[in-house]
Chain A
Amino acid sequence: MPTINVNGADIEVDEDGFIVDPDSWNEDVAKYFAAQEGIKELNDDHWKMINYLRDYYKQFQIAPMIRKLCKETGMSLKYVYELFPSGPAKGACKLAGLPKPTGCV
């Protein structure tokens, strides 16, 4: 498995760049991923989404469904793509340090 180096710490990631262990996440990891996912700077709404995803994952050990995510953050799907150009799964979940979405993608 490849690793990334964030502020001197080696963090394991898979081929798609998702971190393998959600506990190895910190805010610098999110900042590190932002550039790869087409984000210049993380603003308050980015963090709102990231924190929402992390809290939801902590509580339920699963990523929320898109509709729930939009409802509870009050962001439209269009706005989510404006924030995270590669979308909620590949973009937001990756920055939030959630495990890679699976299934018939």
Chain B
Amino acid sequence: MAFEPKREEKALKYEELRIYTDEELKNYSEEELKNFKIKHETPALDELEKGPWPSFVADAKREALHRKKLDADRMMTDKDAVDDLLGQLQLSFDHGETHWKHGGIVGVFGYGGGIIGRYSDVPEKFPAVAHFHTIRVNQPASKFYNTDYLRSLCDLWEYRGSGLMNLHGSTGDIILLGTTTEQLEPIFKDLTHVMDTDLGGSGSNLRTPSCCIGKARCEWSCYDTQAMCYELTQYYQDELHRPAFPYKFKFKFDGCPNGCVASIARSDMSFIGTWKDEIRIDQEAVKAYMAGDIVPNGGAHKGRDWGKFDIRKEVINLCPTKCMSLEDGTLKIDNENCTRCMHCINVMPRALKPGLDTGVSILFGAKAPILEGAQMATLTIPFMKVEPPYDNLKELIEKVWEFWMEEGKNRERLGELIQRFGLPKFLEAIGVPPAPQMVRAPRSNPYIFWKEEDVPGGWDRKIEDYRKIHKR
């Protein structure tokens, strides 16, 4: 089923929304840039303009020059924001220490998150970055844009912010980097009323969900990652904007086990596309690969001579479950023993495709090290069908949240709660029976808890009865 957004998207036309004229946008020449010096001496940063990789310092200097040449009344924040940011960064390079103060609580009315307050600890030296708040803006699924949208956003941000951005934050948001407290409400108003765009998440709440490129342009995607990401983002707006959880919670949607948004490592609830039936094999294409007519891995290893493609060496012998074979030039897969690792499909994308009976595996509890050590997610739901409007998924999510919100300690990630309570307790809370797929290996120690009702006679025993048989 094709994805249909529930509400009509507002069509943005840059020509109608623009703030700056073409002359203002192109207000400096390359010649001027060559001779341009920012307000502060930045010898360490200047070094970072050398070398082949795009230099953030060179980019920032362009923006500094651009702002210098804009009229001061054509922007609502300090002209020198970029100069002062680079100045403060140079000072941090000198000291080997940050110069941002601890914390910062700012926001917009109605929301408890979305904006990360930041203040300089040397505001007298760098007044233009005395306030330098970050705004998280919810990105479109998979980060597809048109230029009308981006140019409108850039004009808005030049007008009310520093002009610096992060595309994108690691959670997925568009990051608007650096503005003052007074500008927050006006920016929010412009974002919502004009750009039809909302803030992302921050704080102890549902953070901005993100997904891989999915069916938009990947033939392996086992479900519509974008549709699911969008639907759950919309459905859980309350949880995203108003922190109600013990700590942060992230969703990420991978279309297949290749994990292009790294959901298994960076989300509390990780959705990974998979299939139940057989890998589809095009034997003619397999032969073409073997004959060298099609390059393996879509040509990903062309940079070096790895010799002629050898299907035994590069596919069959690398299969982790050894469930593949070549019989009379025909590729066979014992699908019962395939773990859907994607390797053979990755090597021969034109010959092999995921099955057609697709869904998601759901894994829980990934997190960075603090407090109890880093965790990747644990497989909990081996397979689940997912179709709009995803009612089965929402039901599951709410059970998970109910359990975690009730039992979770202050600042305890779901992964830590599962560690503390044990996986069986978690399974019970979400109503899923234990299955062998949930563990890599059975426990090796014998400290096994039993429920009283599962043990004949229960726990109430009298020592006198025992003594009748066993003398002291």
Contact = CB atoms under 8 A, between A and B. Distances in A.
B371 interface: no
Nearest to B202: A105
B102 A102 contact: yes
A81 B238 CA distance: 11
B106 interface: yes
Contacts of A16: 104-106, 117
A16 B245 CA distance: 23
Given A81-B110, A105-B116, A105-B202, A18 B244 contact: no
A86 B245 CA distance: 17
Interface in A30-60: 38
B31 to A, nearest CB: 41
B79 interface: no
A65 interface: yes
Contact of A77 (B105, B242, B406, B410): B242
A9 interface: no
Interface string B396-420: 0000000001100011000000000
A33 B452 CA distance: 55
A66 B106 contact: no
Given A16-B117, A65-B246, A86-B107, 18 more contacts: A15-B117, A15-B131, A16-B106, A38-B109, A66-B204, A67-B244, A81-B242, A85-B110, A86-B108, A86-B109, A87-B242, A89-B203, A90-B112, A100-B103, A104-B202, A105-B103, A105-B113, A105-B116
A103 B102 CA distance: 9
Given A65-B410, A67-B244, A77-B244, A85 B109 contact: yes
A101 B111 CA distance: 15
Ordered nearest first, which 5 A-B pairs have the shortest CB separation?
A87-B112, A85-B109, A16-B105, A102-B103, A105-B203
A88 interface: yes
Residue among A66, A88, A103 having the largest count of chain B Cβ atoms under 10 Å: A66
B160 interface: no
B387 to A, nearest CB: 30
A79 to B, nearest CB: 11
A44 to B, nearest CB: 22
Q: Interface SS of chain A: helix, strand, loop or mixed?
A: loop
Contacts of B406: 67
A51 B101 CA distance: 30
Interface residues of A, number: 25
B119 interface: yes
Interface string B107-147: 11111110011010000000000010000000000000000
Given A85-B110, A88-B112, A15 B104 contact: yes
B214 interface: no
Contact of B106 (A62, A67, A78, A90): A90
Contacts of A94: 105
A102 B320 CA distance: 46
A70 to B, nearest CB: 8
B243 A66 contact: yes
Contact of A90 (B102, B105, B202): B105
Contacts of B410: 62, 65
Nearest to B243: A66
Contacts of A77: 242, 244
Interface string B195-217: 00000001110000000000000
Contacts of B266: none
Interface in B202-246: 202-204, 238, 242-246
Nearest to B102: A102
10 contacts: A16-B117, A66-B245, A70-B244, A77-B242, A81-B242, A87-B111, A87-B112, A89-B112, A90-B112, A105-B103
Contacts of B204: 66
Contact of A100 (B105, B238, B242): B105
Contacts of B238: 78
A103 B248 CA distance: 11
Contacts of B242: 77, 81, 87
Nearest to A15: B119
A67 B109 contact: no
Contacts of B248: 104
